[in-house]
Amino acid sequence: MSKDEAVQHAQPGAAVINLGAQLNAGAAGQQDTAGALLREARQSQGLDIATLAALLKVPLHKLQALEQDRLDLLPDPVFARALASSMCRILKLDPAPVLHRLPAISAFKVTSQNRGINAPFRARSGRHAAPLWAHISRPAVLVGLALLLGALVLIFLPSIQQEIARHRQGGQDAANPTQLVEPASVTTTVTTPVSAGSESSGMTPNPSLGSMVPADVATPATPPNTLSSAGAVDVNPDAAITFSAKGASRIKVTDAKGVVVMDRAFRTGESAGVSGAPPLVVVVSRANLMQVQVRGQAFDLASVTKNNVARFEVK
């Protein structure tokens, strides 16, 4: 056998040996990676990768990327080394061999610094830069603001209405001081005898309705001739009720049919009489400045006066 033939017969075997050596070296290289060490340690302990991800509180795909040596799927080498250290601590594995097979942090820093000014700019996400109005315009926030506004209105509206009514009342009183004021009070009924000719017959008092004071006890009404000469005198001798004003006042008289038979203001020295279908409901404002006679007999307004307003009935 010649030398050339021997070489030809020897070459196929050498090729097979070289191919096997390369496969063994590749397998050994794959077993020597950080991901392979971590995967082998996890499988030897019978620990599922999903359970390990739950223990480490990291996404499952990041553990899978580390075990498959897909470091490009991880944020950076710092995160990869920290995750590998955490896995070693859970698996009770020495982290030094694993970290030795991972990229160094310094290399990552140099690479990052070499990017220069042309490094891509990462814009901030729009959801982090949302304006304040975007949060306020949400339905839940708007409903809360509406409820708060309604509560404030309910709290402060009564006091505001009272202030407005008080100012209006003050303005009306200043514009017309003799305007009739009719506060809520108990109406007093005055019962008078049909015949007024007997001087000895007096008024019958009624505690629940008011009282009539006889002429010899009550202060007599000022005769018309003693009033101021400037005042007007309009007294009907047959009038059921006679009014004589000592100052600015106002009278309102309503008959049994609800017809207002008198509603006027009195000045100092004015006198007037009124008649109508009984009972007559009488309201006198500023009662301290008014004298009243019922069928010729003086009537005591003080007994039926409240807040300087007298209310009574004449039957």
Q: Which domain holds residue 27?
A: 12-114
Residue 58's CATH number: 1.10.260.40
Residue 246 lies in a domain: yes
Residues 6 or more apart whose CB falls under 8 angstroms from that of 264 comprise 250, 251, 272
The residue from 76, 94, 114 where one domain ends is 114
pLDDT of residue 163: 83
Residue 51 lies in a domain: yes
Same domain, 210 and 310: yes
User: What is the overall mean pLDDT for the chain?
Assistant: 72
pLDDT of residue 162: 83
pLDDT tens figures, 181-223: 444 444 444 444 444 343 433 444 444 444 444 444 344 444 4
Let me know: does 238 contact 275? Beta carbons within 8 Å: yes
Residue 181 lies in a domain: no
The residue from 58, 87, 114 where one domain ends is 114
The amino acid sitting at 201 is S
The residue from 114, 148, 164 where one domain ends is 114
Residue 131 lies in a domain: no
Say yes or no to pLDDT of 5 above 70.
no
Structure tokens at 80: 């990869």
Residue 164 lies in a domain: no
Instruction: Report how many domains make up the chain.
Output: 2
pLDDT of residue 172: 62
Strand partners, 190: 314
Name the pLDDT band for 68 (thresholds 50, 70, 90).
very high
Name the pLDDT band for 17 (thresholds 50, 70, 90).
very low
Residue 259 lies in a domain: yes
More confidently predicted of 186 and 247 = 247
Report CA torsion sign: 62, 66, 68, 73: positive
Same domain, 209 and 308: yes
Residue 67 lies in a domain: yes
